[in-house]
Homo-oligomer: A and B are copies of this chain.
C-alpha cells in the first residue's frame, strides 16, 4: 500500500517553516506497513490545491492532507478536496453545535467565518479534535475506479499527532492487510561513521530481511533496524538476530537499545550505583551540566557544576594548583585531571568530571590546535584522562566533548 502526504499552507513555501509533521506520519504509516512514496507541499491557492489533490488521488492508495482546516479565507482544504473528489460539502449540525459549545465555554464570540469549520465532505466520517477547533475527516471510497482512503488532518503538530493516534491508526489497521513489523534503534557513542559501517556492513548485508539505516551525529550514531514477518514473533526474531550480531561486534560502544539519550543513560547508571557526579568545565562552557540536568529527576545524582573559563577561577573554585597551569598550560592532561579531582572534592561527589580544551575558532596553536580536548574522570580509585582531537566548528567541538564526558561516566559505572 502506497501513501502520499500533502502539506498545505503558504507558510511552508517561505524560507522560515518546513513540514515536520510528515516525519511523524511516515513513522506511523511505516509501522502499519504503508510506504510513503510522495510528499508535496502546496500553498493556500484553490486551483493548485485541487490539481494537487487530483494528482495524489490518481496515483496513491492513501492520501493524507495536513493543514488548511481553520476558519480563515486561506483555509481551503475542505473545499479543494471536495472538488477533487467531486463530492459536495454539507454543513454538519453536530459539528456546528460542538463548535458553538467550545466558543461559549471559552466565552469567545463565534464569528461567521468559523461556521465553515463544520463543513464536511459528503460520505466523510468526522474525526473529533479535542485539542483544537477544526475536526478532521476520513473518507474511504473510489476515485477513478480505484479504492482510496483520504484523511484530512489539522496542521498544528499536537492536534495532528493526537488525532492520528486516536482516530486514524486503528481505522487504517482495519483496512490494511495484516502485517507484522518490528523496529529497534541501537545508539553508538564516540565512533566514526565509516569505522562503524565498515565493522557492521559485513553483518547487516547478510540480513536482507532487515532494513538497516545508519544516521550519524556528533559523537553519536543511530542504527535503525526494521523487519516484517508472517507473525509478530517472526518479525521480532529477525530484528533480535541482527541486533544480537551487531551488539557482539560493537560491544560496549552501544549505549542504548531503547531510544534513550546518552545523558539519560549516564544518569541511569549513576542512580543505579547510588553515585553522584559534579563537573568542572572549561571549553564546553556548561554543556555537560546542561545535558545532565535536562533529564527530569537529575537532582538525585547531579550535585553541581562549575564553568571555569579563567585560570584564576580554575584555582579558586576547583583548587587547580597555579603551578600546574603554569607548567603544562590550561589545556593539558594535568589540568583536566586536577579539575576533575578538585570539583569532586569541593562538591563531595562520588565522581568528578574535568574538561579543558580549545573549542575555537581562535586560540589554537601548533602544539594545541583547535579541537584538542582533555576529558578527565575522577573517583575514589583514581583519575583517567582521555585526549581527543575533534574536527568541526565551535559548537560541534563542544558537542563532541560533552558526548565524550558523558560516555566516560557510562563506561566507568557500567
Contact = CB atoms under 8 A, between A and B. Distances in A.
Contacts of A59: 51
A293 B285 contact: yes
The number of chain A residues touching the other chain, given as a range, is: 35 or more
Contacts of A37: 13, 42-43, 45, 48
A58 to B, nearest CB: 10
A72 interface: no
Interface string A207-250: 00000010100000000100000000000000000000000000
Given A307-B306, A309-B299, A23 B18 contact: yes
A361 B299 CA distance: 12
Interface string A355-378: 000001111000000000000000
A286 B281 CA distance: 10
A123 interface: no
Interface string A26-62: 1100100001111111110100100110010001000
Contact of A213 (B14, B24, B287, B346): B14
Interface stretch (A91-99, A126-134, A310-318, A331-339): A310-318
A305 interface: yes
Contacts of A317: 304, 306, 317, 346
- The winner among A24, A27, A289 for most chain B CB atoms within 10 A is A289
Contacts of A215: 16-17
A358 B135 CA distance: 36
Nearest to A28: B15
A12 B215 CA distance: 13
Contact of A309 (B19, B224, B302, B395): B302
Nearest to A299: B309
Nearest to A348: B312
Contacts of A48: 37-38
Given A23-B18, A38-B40, A285 B289 contact: yes
A290 B293 contact: no
A202 interface: no
A12 B38 CA distance: 10
Contacts of A114: none
A48 B2 CA distance: 12
A286 B293 contact: yes
B39 A361 contact: no
Interface string A393-406: 01100100000000
Contacts of A20: 18
B398 A294 contact: yes
Given A286-B286, A305-B307, 4 more contacts: A18-B20, A38-B40, A281-B286, A296-B362
- Give the 3 A-B CB pairs with smallest separation, nearest first: A285-B293, A286-B286, A286-B289
